[in-house]
Structure 1
Amino acid sequence: MHGPRIETDRLILRPTAPEDFDAWAECLADPVVTRFLGGPQPRALAWRNFMTMAGSWAILGFGMFSVIERDTGRWLGRLGPWQPEGWPGHEIGWGLVQGAWGKGYALEGAAASMDWAFEHLPWAEVIHSINPENIASIALAEKLGSTRLGPGTLPAPFEGDRVDLWGQTREQWLARRRR
């Protein structure tokens, strides 16, 4: 496994690794978790999604991190930098297993991944593409200091998905972190 390893108080963020796949596939099969992520995926499609993220790390030098709970070693989800072809901006996204919801893990991990992205990638701003009904992700974007930029359009095959773009600049993020 090549790439950064970021440790926070409760989490380890690192590129995807082979041992993550079973939990990854289980997460992407959960209709509640995937309600705003395109819906449940069968294991074979989850494998393609998993390999896409690994390929992003290998080719671009960034991708969403696997989120590992430090105390248990349990895989909790994926989050971090992401920019597929035709995407409306440099995304910091998130998706965690239900058992990790409501514990502040997404905020802790997303903040650490934004720190990493702004330090290591030539990004002047980040976005979060969020379905307007996804109240929990909107609240997380606001806690990160992002503001609603307006409706967005995703590339095929997601062009019919409703999303609002939330975001902020590097300068806004760094000023917030200095407080």
Structure 2
Amino acid sequence: MLSTERLTLRPHSIEDLDHVFELAHDPAVHEFIRGLPTSREEAWHRLLRYAGHWSLLGYGMFAVFERASGTFIGEVGLADFRRGLGPDFDGNPEAAWLFAGASHGKGYALEAMAALLGWFGQEHASARTVCIIDVANAASTKLAGRLGFQQYGTAVYREAHVAKYERSGS
């Protein structure tokens, strides 16, 4: 578990199934992210995949909660999604963040990702991390830059044009 001034980040639990399902149906989330769970069954599979990352790789996705209210607001983490985007991408820990629309514009994504990357850097100092962002997603592109990611290529993923970013381990 990680804590910041305003947030608590913890690996998902079975009790988070509703959170995973509801987040995937938030219009602000699926505007730029394709392939999110469309059924409770798919949300369950996603939750199991999250647990598998922690079990097999020692890192994964975190559920993010506001500390003051205890409200679930999103997910951040690192994963190996095996997207088929090439050897320069696949096999590297991939940073991911998705937040409910009601929490946008409050700096939560930067706060959560900074905590996550700080923790990961201590555990895996030399690891290069990557991410993909829909080219139309200006907010995530700006966040990636603030987190130290630099664009190094482009791809088409699930019929969307995405930019590929990388961040060196330190």
Shorter-normalised TM range: 0.7 to 0.9
CA–CA distance in 1 between the matches of 2:140 and 2:160? 16
CA contact (8 A) 1:146 1:168 kept: yes
SS at match of 2:77: strand
Q: In the alignment, which residue of structure 2 is the partner of 1:176?
A: none
The yes-or-no answer on 1:13 pairing with 2:9 is: yes
CA 1:153–1:90 in 2, change beyond 3 Å: closer, same or farther? farther
Q: In the alignment, which residue of structure 2 is the partner of 1:174?
A: none
CA contact (8 A) 1:31 1:39 kept: no
Q: In the alignment, which residue of structure 1 is the partner of 2:57?
A: 60
Q: Deviations over 1:133-166 (max 9, x none)?
A: 1111101101112221111465xxx4x4321112
Q: Which has the higher contact order (CA 8 A, sep 6+)?
A: 2
Taking structure 1 as the reference length, the TM-score comes to 0.83
Q: Deviations over 1:32-56 (max 9, x none)?
A: 3112221552222112112111221
The yes-or-no answer on 1:105 pairing with 2:108 is: yes
SS at match of 2:29: coil
The yes-or-no answer on 1:42 pairing with 2:39 is: yes
Mind listing any 5+ residue stretches in structure 2 that lack a counterpart?
none
CA–CA distance in 1 between the matches of 2:154 and 2:52? 29
- Aligned-residue offset at 1:68: 1.2
Give the alignment's Cα RMSD to 1 decimal.
1.8
CA contact (8 A) 2:125 2:169 kept: no
Q: In the alignment, which residue of structure 1 is the partner of 2:161?
A: 162
Name the aligned partner's letter for residue 138 of structure 2. Answer: I
CA 1:153–1:117 in 2, change beyond 3 Å: closer, same or farther? farther
CA contact (8 A) 2:81 2:94 kept: no
How is 1:85-164 mapped onto 2 (pairs within 5 angstroms)? 85=82, 86=84, 88=89, 89-121=92-124, 123-152=126-155, 158=158, 160-164=159-163
CA contact (8 A) 2:8 2:64 kept: yes
Q: In the alignment, which residue of structure 1 is the partner of 2:66?
A: 69
Mind listing any 5+ residue stretches in structure 1 that lack a counterpart?
172-179
Using the aligned pairs only, state the percent identity: 34
Name the aligned partner's letter for residue 146 of structure 1. Answer: F
